[in-house]
Structure 1
């Protein structure tokens, strides 16, 4: 044993020498990695890729990667893969990187490579300007210590794939030579130390070119039609054209309450546009531009005026014993320069100050009829002439004969008066005991057809005289609350304000001045001085007040006589829910329960919930859809059918607060329907009709009720049509006709103007 151990001890140094020799040979045989390259560069990392060293024993190697920056900071890591990503580095910084292999504690030769990280991306890339052939981009330099002396690259790619590339040392660049109205993809990046940073991308459109040959094609007293030529851009067929207009002022008359006189804008895909609802005799500034992808072209502008408005002849009175007449007419809406007057072929020099005062014409003959016309002149344009017939009185008549004839006429008149009065009393029906006011001097139903025929002669001359007498009714009453500064924005039109004494007050809200105000008025009816509420159509910020009005008055009936949008203008806010999803306004929740839409109207059932009290109110809305944007309906029949349905509901429902009737301003269409309801019920109860007196009564409570002469005439046409239809129904029945409709032949012969 001692010998054996002694033998191993003798060979020990020799074996150690052999082992060390083999380790040195393996280290010498482990060569450097091959084909060391950069795989990727970002602003905070470098990826290196290589191949294993040559040699038969290239498996199970460990690779070491070391990168040292300018400041001496070193990142070291190892991997068994032939690639590695070193991150946490500084942007735009060169690094000295080394890679070597290791096996069994022996390291191979290092392979070195100098690599830079990519610079950061530019910051806040925005569009500085867009023209029809260029786009300007603006940006800020990327973050980093070395943000000076950078080179920026800008690349622009068009719809067809064409690419333009340019570089700059500035932080803005303009790419020009582009197509108008086209979309481009723009990229911006920084290049430093031969390495490009990440790209910032924007999709930007050039502006369309201007429209060409903008001109005024036609004009009327309420419209101007513009026409232009589309630009010759590659995508012009996709353009939207915008038209903006504004008046230069209305020095002659107050502004129409139905019109918003601020700048108005509308769009079209055509190359012409009719601007409607303008004021006669008024200069307007028009601008037109093209737009695509929310980028607008430069504007083309022009000025144009509407044709002046026609006047209404108020009277033509014989003077100077039949040798002359005095003609009086109203001032037209809008601007005017003068009036041209012709009487019997005799033309007077134009007179600017002739409206609303009598103009005398001499040199005529007694006992003659003369055709007369008045024409408004404005800036070389002429309105449609308004004709009338003037009658001169007979001259040379003996005074005694005149007195005798007058006495005879008085006697005959008294006889007729008493006979009619006796007949009227015999036919008079019972009137409710609580009747608040009557209609003295009203028209018997059997005479109404003749009355309409007489007042409608000579282009509604008689109706014009009646309506002129209503013009000043109710003025001068206090409107203090409606005019208060805190309530100014609650009024849709500045000249339609409720009177203090007849306005409908709301319950004030704590800490909210003016919260008791809404533009609504109580109106008298047949049996109560507060039978109706006339209101303006809600504005976006008064919808909550409108529903407070409904709740506080406990009104079960709403009547709407306008569409929310007419002629491109908002006439009334959509104040009820569009679908089954309820809407909440303050402490009130409104739900749509049912809706039935017919050709000319819609009927909606709504439920109003008071959230604090958890009480409900059922409301039915009657919405008339067939009133045209301008003027009055062409036929009374649809409105009469609508009224019959509404009146049947009101008679059946009973109880609750007054019906709330509104249009846009709450005076024109609203006044017409309320007057129609009251007068037809007066006809049923008394056999009498008093349109003039009732309209005057309404105007004492709210200004401008039955706003236009055309609406006043239409009111008479509706009543006349009701009488005609009633007479036809009576004629087809077997029972004895009602005396109210006894003059059937006259009613059927008188055609209502469509």
Structure 2
């Protein structure tokens, strides 16, 4: 901008600048004459213009120079004396102005004038204003700040410095004959002088922003940046503001640095529990620093101040510790956080130190009252303690601890061992953040008592009339070391006595052929123990006995060397069961005799090929080698020696030569040879009777491709896998086998692996092998090659399966079997076939099972016509085939012991005296759950061990029942009595039950059928706390969700209870579909089936079922549950075997024909047939109205989701979480209702 020129008047201030349009200025000469100054050439000013790159700071120009005389004239104009402000700046300006005067017009002096003294009269002559901005470009900053006290020098330079104002020089822009007039005026002081001391106060607002308040008066500061308050500032924000005023220049630049959010600082107690009794610790926790890197403020400006009672103050550290304090004392601490020396947050905190160690009990003594009792006395500590306990032991590992009352000063100890040194510790405890204690210790001996009886007393004849008597030390001497005493009696006559420190006596010179009674007891010098006796007899003369023994040895040796085969007659089907029972009598003595009479190896058959050096590494076991005459020979490969060898033998069937190939399990080196054998022998079925690893030992190579691989090449043979199906007892794989060197198309090969053979022994149920045989025969045909059977060695399990298959074929063909003769035949074709006696007996058991019960398995596709025919009576007076099948079911009454449930102290825990669990599979409860055996994660591999001794486990009326997916089991239990509710919940927790199925009402008429074992809210049963979280009810069944916690565990468990409504125990369910629906839905709460091999029996039991007494309704449910699983997995059912298995597990399961037929009918209705095909019904779409019993006031308590969304955090740990299939529109779900009651996880 430009300003109009003005003439200074007397007493008025000098204008800051003039405009470019003013005429020539009038300057006053030294003799008061006025002249017209000539125009000044711009070139004259060039030597005096500031260089843009000039280092002005080195000149220390903090403000322009100013003149001190009142007329503001330069000292060389007029005769008045003027002085400059001190400093070098004045000299610089002087040289500039002198140069300007010298550089006037040639031959004449040029006069430079400043504005006239205000006291002088106005000038009459004018010349162009030297100070006009139009006369020449400004030489200093383009600041528009004005100061009427002095004129700045300007130049055409636009360089500005906020810290330094440079003197400016101006010239006139118009040419006049007169000498140019120049003017020099001082600049204004910097605004820093005015505002440099301004302070700022920050205040934190409710909206989490800051307001900065400046201590400056509004009227003294012009720009908007000078507002006194700056609002809406964010934490750690920086903001530049500028302060200016007409009286100063340049403006003062000020930076606001906003402090951090005080809410992000939190004063926390950081003392460690172990030091909390004598120390305190405070720590300012900054939420944004330094972990997440979000702290934007200058951390170096943060200061911390602490001051506590009993400690010195602390500065600048965010953590403050004080030690050596008094326990259980209050200390008050104050602390502040400052930012840039401004208080950000202040807080006071009162901390109480923890309990200190109590005093040890005083005057502690113990003494023996007798051999098994002691007494201890003490004086309780004077200091504070909250509990006291007494522990005593013989060795530290066997301590017994007894809590004591605080006021108690003595105790009697019972059930101690006689003559034993006991260490007794009395401990006073205080429990605060940690437990602190002090002990008093005392040792004492109990009194002696009678020693126990000697162990292992034996009497052996050394000569015909000399007997040696010996025994082992008594279990309890109960006193000092003593002696053993022997009495020899015959009848009531004492014959001899002897004693000694060791229990070794040689009794000589006895009567021949006389029976003696030897009594031995131990005397510990204080008491004599009870005698133990043994009887022995003297014998004949030694010479006669030796001759007899020599003869007997010779005869026996000859018999063993000759070892002729026994003459065992074939067994007719009508007497098969009776023959089996007869041979099993006397611990299977006849079976053992038969089996041991069969030679293990027929040495007349050579095994030269198997023993050749190039074939030895192809044999898995060095003593199991194929005979040369019937080994399987492979085709030669390029004439390589041994390329035609594999450890496999042809085996004849019942009346079919070479029906089988018995082979060892392939090794990694022989897998190619194995597949070459399959191709060359045209085999279409492979039966594998082992797992690849058993007991951490490799039994067989995995010689087939995985589903992920798809196919694998073995030499010239290509094997492709098409299907992999896992069932409980076996795995079926469909393979296609081809040969790269032959044009023939690939052949279908079925691989069946039996997985239920235990690592040791044989399968408990022979029905499993009959089931395997049915699967194998379903895939084999007349035109296929031999059936290849292998285990690991290819003799034991392999021979057993072949023996069962061949003998069943013989039983069907001839109605009789010759097991002994066929096993001999097997041994002639491969050594050690049917390797152990148990396998030999298993063949007979399978034959008895088949002959007694027949084939009862039926496929779903044939179920409807099969069931229709089974129900027909022909003639009407005879039972139907279905009734006859039911009548063949064994009752298994009293087939196993029931001692525990019938003990006097347990009889009151049984609801029905006829339904008592068998001892072998009862559910045993631990008295105390040992947390050391189980990790906090509750992994399934760390369940409670089932090796509980009977005497240390509690009784509950419940039995393990085998489920379809072996080795998993279910629990069948009676409805809890009021006095057994705690045991019931302990069982649920110890066995990690996920789902409880309740099949009864609480009352049946006027009688209690089941105690209500749940309540609203929380209930404690010992260490287990049960909290009912939710209840949903439909017309068919009710679902309740419980949360179980153990006092020694961290994580809770969720258990669901499904209560089926309206099922009278004496009747069948009126709506079977609803029962099936409940089963389908509760299965979603169970963990996914674990396909890992070798699971332990009775580990975790996810499903518990109970009715009134755990028999009829429970039996129907368990059978139906297993049958539905079988139908879904294998598309076959076997009602007979399902019920038979349940009857073996618990009395009273499925006792009536109506219940038995009901199972068939439910399966048939669940899987209807249409055009010969089975329709598998999925979850029914019935609409069920939900009624919440727990909290009817909550509008969202009935919100439901489809069955797929029922998984909760407890139920889907193994399943990986469920994915809901519907949108989360709660109102629509609640209005329509789900297919079943649905529980939502409580918050």
Q: TM-score range by the shorter chain?
A: 0.3 to 0.5
Larger radius of gyration: 2
The structure with more strand, counted as a fraction of residues = 1
TM-score, normalization: structure 1?
0.39
**Structure ranking higher on relative contact order (CA contacts 8 Å, 6+ apart):** 1
TM-score, normalization: structure 2?
0.24
